[in-house]
Amino acid sequence: MKPFKFFVITDTHYFAKSLSAGGKHYEDFMDFEQKCFAETPYINDAVFNYLANQTETDTILIAGDLSFNGEKASHEEFSALLKKVKDAGKKIYVVTAGHDIEQNPFEYTDEGRHHIEGIKFFDLYDYYRDFGYDNAISFYRKNLSYVAQLADGIRLLVLCNDSEEKKNIAYTDELLAWAKEQMDKAKSDGQMMFAMEHYPVLPGQPILTLIPDARQKESKKLYTLLADNGVHLIFTGHMHNQSINMVETENGNKFYDVCTGSVIGCPAFMRLCTVEDENTMKIESIPVPDFAWDTKGKDCTVYMREQFERMIRTLVSSMQDDPARILRKFGGDKPKLHKIVSVVGKALNTWTVGRVAKIFFVKAHKDIRKRKFIDLVVDIARNAFEGDQPFVEGTPEGDTILRVFRRLRPVFRILNKKLHGSQGEEVDLYELLKHSAGNYDISDYNAILKLK
């Protein structure tokens, strides 16, 4: 087998230039939004211009959420952009996802938010048939899943967990039987096979074990089927986080989930992947290039990071200054909670790390004792998405966080008995939080993965 390179990007969330994104109501929306919105077509232009001009490979994988919210105009423009790249000599393979199907798509004008035309699940075939479906070795149309021959000896299994009736579902026995048949055929044909779907199969960070929407439903059933039948790696997106995780099945087979950040929000990265041999995958991360937008002189990474931090800081500042706004954001305003939310918000905004640590009868590390607590909160939240979280044991932040967690261990033991992961597994809150604050495992950016 010759070495084979390809790019992986995900969560392009293209919003058509022909649609409107501006005005006061738009800015209010963006106060609570992680990803960019109006900028998305210009970011995608820069990304695909970069990819079209790369000479290392002619193959691009896109792991879902192609449009911002299922707008018809966005799919029209985005599929036209992909066609230009294809005409430049590139091979593109997509999987679609929940944001590609109509779910109350909208635009913003000076007058407010307005509903616009979207598309249904099976409409997606007409837009993306040239990007995987029509040249597939096998096409499972009911779920827009397929197998593609990427190179001599290398096949891609693309799985979509949407259907005409529902989106983000557990895979049916029928689809899994089709997938098993394709894996068996790959083995009999002497082909290496890896997979792509939109939803992570393994939680991107341990804390996400508790969030139902953070991974594929019935994920253990899926990764066991894949790994035990020779598919040891999957490329995913959805959570807009940068991560690489590994688990072993009960039969001792390795399974890797390589989740990539969205190109239109922090962390904005692409992957350059190399199949070095049937047992080795090299992963490299490349930042999204700068794009044609007034970013006030900031590069793409800083610009998107500031939008992420805007979201976190708005959440906390609204708790202090406008509790009704934050309560409306999370399900409904309750006036009797205003005072409590405001007091908590003021503490988060004004207290130092040292003062918060004292509440738990521990001392903060001297280097961060006077640091504002909100700044540490922002760093922890952003690091969980950016990956390679730096707050490990031996750092001022890591040591302080772990002192607090150790003090809370008696509480964690009680909660461990009551809490379960989103798919029923037992949890150890201490370990879960420790490994969410600091990365002690595989680098989330650059790694050489041994698949067997």
Q: Which of 63, 39, 98 is nearest to 270 (CA)?
A: 63
Give the pLDDT of residue 167: 85
3-state secondary structure 189-227: CCCEEEEECCCCCCCCCHHHHHCHHHCCCCHHHHHHHHH
Residues 284 and 335 in one domain: no
The mean pLDDT of 309-334, rounded to a whole number, is 91
Same domain, 334 and 242: no
What Rg, from alpha-carbon coordinates, does the chain have? 23
AA letter at 428: D
pLDDT tier for residue 34 given thresholds of 50, 70 and 90: very high
Give residue-wise pLDDT tens across range 60-89: 999 999 999 999 999 999 999 999 999 999
Residues 366-383 have pLDDT tens digits of: 999 999 999 999 999 999
Q: What is the Cα–Cα distance from 119 to 322, expressed in whole angstroms?
A: 37
Average pLDDT over residues 36-59: 97
Is a pLDDT exceeding 90 seen at residue 446?
Answer: yes
Domain's final residue, options 292, 323, 351: 292
Q: Per the domain annotation, does 450 fall within a domain?
A: no
Q: What is the pLDDT of residue 168?
A: 86
- Residue 39 belongs to a domain: yes
pLDDT at 211 over 90: yes
Considering the domain architecture, whether residues 319 and 255 belong to the same structural domain is answered as no
Q: How many domains does the chain have?
A: 2
pLDDT band with cut points at 50, 70 and 90 for residue 53: very high
Closest residue by Cα to residue 109 from 178, 41, 21: 21
Q: β-strand 280-287 against 269-277: which pairing, if any? A: antiparallel
Q: How confident is the prediction for the chain on average, in pLDDT?
A: 96
**Euclidean distance between CA atoms 233 and 385, whole angstroms:** 21
Instruction: Note whether 248 and 329 are same-domain residues.
Output: no
Position 110 in a domain: yes
Residue 114 pLDDT > 90: yes
- Helix segments in 53-159, DSSP class H: 72-87, 124-128
User: Strand locations in 87-153, DSSP E?
Assistant: 91-94, 106-109, 112-115, 138-140, 145-151
- Residue-wise pLDDT for 116-157, tens only, equals 999 999 999 999 999 999 999 999 999 999 999 999 999 999
The answer to whether position 452 is within a domain reads no
Residue 39 phi, psi dihedral angles, 5° rounding: -80, -15
- With the CA atoms of 375, 381, 386 and 390 taken in that order, what torsion angle do they form, in degrees rounded to the nearest 10? 60
**Domain shared by 176 and 325, yes or no:** no
Q: pTM of the predicted model, to two decimals?
A: 0.96
274 burial level (CB within 10 Å; 0-12, 13-18, 19+): middle
Query: Is 330's pLDDT higher than 90?
Result: no
Tokens of 321: 């200054």
Q: Which residue has the higher pLDDT, 158 or 103?
A: 158
Confidence of residue 333 (pLDDT cuts 50, 70, 90): confident
**Given phi > 0 = left and psi -120 to 50 = alpha, else beta, which region is 75?**
alpha
Name which of 32, 139, 14 is nearest 79 in CA terms: 14
What is the predicted pLDDT for the residue at 96?
98
Specify the pLDDT at position 164. Answer: 87
CATH code at position 185? 3.60.21.10
Q: What angle do CA 359, 361, 364 make, to 5 degrees?
A: 85
Q: Would you state the pLDDT for residue 363?
A: 97
Same domain, 321 and 273: no
- SS3 (DSSP) at 115: strand
Q: Are 255 and 233 in contact (CB under 8 A)?
A: yes
Residue range(s) defining the domain that contains residue 337: 300-441
State the pLDDT confidence band at 165, using cuts at 50, 70 and 90.
Answer: confident
Average pLDDT rounded to a whole number, residues 289-314: 96
Encode pLDDT of 416-440 as tens digits: 999 999 999 999 999 999 999 999 9
